[in-house]
Structure 1
């Protein structure tokens, strides 16, 4: 009882800050607020202007590309690394620490490091050309057509280790008798993973999906550190669009509208997850 009473201030604070702030943002997205919030209602005008702006559409396209690639590659690479690590290899703790270390860095640090690595003057391109391949070109951050993939490389480098740890925890939770039975029955390892182990790891996959998806929607630091949205607006993302509109362009109404669209995107991810996790358990 004492613990519940002690938790009341935290709950009230969370409701006031998060729920109250969310409602406030949605309400003022229907106003013509500029430098300061004001109740000059304009209906859906901010949303119409938002979806008619090329910069916002480019940010959505970039987020879709980054999100799809990040989701698929994070799952595949993370699971493969976890499966290899689950073979009780030597120096497992060392390898696990090395793989997880990038996740301890901030996105700003990661972005700056990969900005240097991908810089054509002294990064990968320069090193390879110095080895004799003078025609080699690798400058994704300076090519508007592939710049989002340069940001993706940095994101995967930082986050894949964390996904590997989550997958490894799920694999370590599998009963060892399943592996023994599959070996006795002569079932190939890949079939055991595909038809037995992966279905049993469904809760881990769902949790990992939510973590990755929420991070994708909020991607901001990597873009700012690596390209600042450039070249031009080629690497623009919704979170940076919101920041620029609210603090640089001093257009709060437009920023609130974009924030609300991001909130809807997160809700599309969170609500099905909550239903699958808690609704299914309740029915069970």
Structure 2
């Protein structure tokens, strides 16, 4: 089977690696244009482009795919490349561009998407983050036949994956990426023999995983401890939960809910600071911070962090010193 692959980050690279290892004929890779990264803001190729170049797979990087849009010239060149590829199917994983109808119609078997949720829950850009943030007990991967809607196409394969109380977006991402790579190989093998069954998504249970905004990283200490703890894990490794204490902005990586009763102090107040953690009052309960990071520093367990930071009872997180 001859295919085109469209994807950009590490999640997509994992699937591309599995497809390549399985021996599929990958005629073309679409990925986002190189972006500035690192301290020097040098242009950096996406993980998908890096893999494609290492294995001699042609790469196209259009800034848009609408033939009548701002990047119409890019779209026209991409259309020519896709027509030349003569693919049976396009596999899409976290590509980052909306596919117009002409792209969806081009391959004989259409476009298959690897989506990191149990559709129709968490359609959209950040399903892994939002599942952890919401306290979901499970996630998974859905292989979907793409249509013009936002993750609304028929489901082809679905497999569930538990979310543990210790999972971060990083740990769950890696498991779902591996699962997605395995499922897309299975889906294409079934497609080759006409064995794929399409199931429409249920009309109930639809939720949207909106893109993560860096502004969400600021901890709201008036929320319950359990909600804040989940957000710490959901925003690990990106963008990282943040809070000020005194004049310093810190990143907060891990915490532990100590009780479910309202703390008798203003939210954000430090109640205790010991090697096993920094206890902070919240809108409902106490959150023990166990892993923190100073600006320009490393992620540290509380015991190591406190050796270089003057955090004492009575200080308040979320308040800037005058």
User: TM-score higher than 0.5 here?
Assistant: no
Name the TM-score class by shorter chain: under 0.3
Larger strand percent: 2
Larger helix percent: 1
TM-score normalized with structure 1 length: 0.21
- Per chain length, whose mean CA-contact separation is higher, i.e. which structure has more relative contact order (CA < 8 Å, sep 6+)? 1
